[in-house]
Amino acid sequence: MKRIYCGVDSLINRMLKSKADYENDKKKLSFEEKLKIMVKLQEKSYAMGATKIKPWPIK
Amino acid sequence: MKEIIKILNKMIKDKIIDDFVLGGATALLYYADNIFQTEDIDIFISVKHTGLIFNLEPIYTYLKYNYNDIGKYGEYIIVKDFPLQFLLPGDSLHKEAIKNFKTITIQGEKCKIFSFEYLIALMIFLFKPKYRERIRLIIEGKTYDEKKLNDILKRHSLLDKFNKIKDKFNEENILWS
């Protein structure tokens, strides 16, 4: 059966590459950058009403 | 964050506490590749006190007297909008962990945090539901010193518990793959 190429392989490759990039980028983050991301998560939880504790004042 | 470290260092100078080491997810954030969410800063303090019960009221009174923006919320003391949880190392593992720290710089301020292997050992020891996923991600990350961790776990009779946890994770991985 002839295989119909519909760009799925390249899409998967792109996804895998971006996943690898993401893993590498994550490793490069400094402690301060990680803190800032965590504060973003806290802001989200606070906005959703999941917690009554205010996000840390780190900008 | 810098302000908090400054305040804690001032507390040592003023002899309110003898020393402090940061633990919990804040310390974990330094070592792990993943970002773990937390709402408080766990501060393990060492103080000279006699008796079984230690009262945190002098710490609160000191902070209230010296700084603005001090409040209380449940078990936390809110200092400049940061919820701080002051903890005393009660068991032998926590007591050992507080002596095995790493000095880091947070926004230009030096402070002590638990070593990575002790943080993992403490999570295995307490094994709260939220620690399960954290331990799984840390095992996958393989950035810790396995020999050092096994040594700590062996000394505190936690190695079997850790192996069981690892087995459970392996079973789940087989199921999902």
Segment B40-52 shows an average pLDDT of 81
> 3-class SS at B23?
strand
Give B38-87 as a DSSP string: -SSEEEEEE----SS----HHHHHHHHHH-SSEEEETTEEEETTEEEEEE
Residue pLDDT, tens place only, B84-132: 999 888 888 998 999 999 999 888 888 999 999 999 999 999 988 888 8
Residue pLDDT, tens place only, A13-44: 777 777 777 777 767 788 888 888 899 999 99
> Which CATH class for the B2-114 domain?
alpha beta
This model of the complex carries an ipTM of 0.81
pLDDT reading at A5 higher than 60? no
Between CA B9 and CA B76, with CA B66 as vertex, the angle to 5 degrees is 70
Segment B44-62 shows an average pLDDT of 79
Q: Are B38 and A38 within 8 A, CB to CB?
A: yes
Structure tokens at B81: 């909008």
pLDDT score at B121? 94
Reported confidence tier of residue A1, pLDDT bands at 50, 70, 90: low
Q: Are A31 and B29 within 8 A, CB to CB?
A: yes
The full set of domain ranges for chain B reads 2-114, 119-176
Interface of B with A (CB under 8 A): 1, 25, 29-30, 33-40, 73, 76, 80-83, 104, 106-107
Shortest distance between the Cα of B14 and any Cα of chain A, in A, equals: 26
Segment B146-163 shows an average pLDDT of 93
